[in-house]
Amino acid sequence: MSRVPFLEFLLWLKPRGLDRLLDIIAPPAARQYNQFVYDSVTDRIALQREQATKPEEERRQDMFYFLAEARDSNTGALVYNEDDLRAESNMLIIAGSDTTATSFSGFFFYLTDDLTRYNKVVEEIQTTFHSLDDIIYGPKLQSCTYLRACVDEAMRLAPSGLSELPREILPGGLQIKGEFYPVGTIVGTAPWVNSRDTNVYADAETFCPERWILDGPGGVTKQDIARARAGFHPFLSGPGNCVGQNLAIAEILITVARTLYQLDVRRAPKSKLGGGSPELNWGKTDPNQLQLVDAYVSLRRGPEVQFRKRKLKF
């Protein structure tokens, strides 16, 4: 049974005028976005049909291609109709843009404020790859351990979702930290709080990629990394975790590596956009912390950075 009152009735109304009404009362930005998605998917459907007679290896095999070609294993019928494809495309655009944008903001906010670590990750990228086209998702990119550590540390300090996502206790109840919760209880943990747990992360407010890399002489043990990983769930965990997490990581690593391979990046001179400030409310005063606002996904302003084409290669 649905937990949303009148859900079936609302779904029945959608093609019978509700969608049109919602579009009329929606803010201009929302209407513009909806039109962008509609036009983009329309063009992509046209391309899919245009390439239908071409050999498979000559077609554009992006995510939409595989969605449009998905077939029921029993009947051979297409899984998604046109309305389904539009809905799936809308979800993929939203889920894969705001969240990764927050990760990029966090990465450049913290790295451009730390010249030593910035130079270290740039050197790793410059010495690992021989050309821009060489930067693809594969063994070479995965070997960039310091780059991945910087990305993980940025996602720890700037999670894409700040507050708890609710989970319902299943039949039989659940024991959590010594307390029993009966079936139907709604529980959750907040990524912002988890990522700053000083019992898990020493200097929790500090940008420290080294905490993710094994270094016996430096004092980072396997146990330290395992404890950090146990408290680190940027894509949530369990059966409700993000299905696109591998794609998101690939997107972030490729984009950052390609950016730093060909461009120098620095914080705009005198810019403090994104950081805390003494005149702001309690909890927002630290200039070294990217300020995020909880709106299901994280909202933020900044950082303000400048890019310049790189002249020299290591």
Report CA torsion sign: 210, 212, 217, 221: positive
Each residue's pLDDT tens digit, 110-120: 999 999 999 99
Summarize the annotated binding site as residue ranges: 242
Each residue's pLDDT tens digit, 3-38: 556 778 887 888 888 888 888 898 998 889 889 999
Q: Specify the residue for token string 């998917």.
A: 41
Spans in the chain with pLDDT lower than 70: 1-5, 312-314
Please report the pLDDT score of residue 314 as a whole number.
47
Please report the pLDDT score of residue 122 as a whole number.
97
Q: Distances from the Cα of 170 to the Cαs of 156, 173, 188, 226, 258, in angstroms?
A: 29, 6, 14, 28, 45
Please report the pLDDT score of residue 95 as a whole number.
73
Please report the pLDDT score of residue 162 as a whole number.
86
C-alpha–C-alpha distance, residues 279 and 285, integer Å: 7
Q: Structural domains in the chain?
A: 7-95 (no CATH), 98-309 (1.10.630.10)
Task: Return the amino acid letter for 205.
Answer: E
Summarize the annotated binding site for heme as residue ranges: 242
State the CB neighbour count (10 A cutoff) for residue 150: 26
Structure tokens at 173: 């109840």
Opening angle at CA 219, ends 216 and 223, nearest 5: 80
Q: Answer whether 62's CB lies under 8 Å from 214's CB.
A: no
Please name the helix (run of DSSP H) or strand (run of DSSP E) that holds residue 88, with its range, or none: helix 82-95
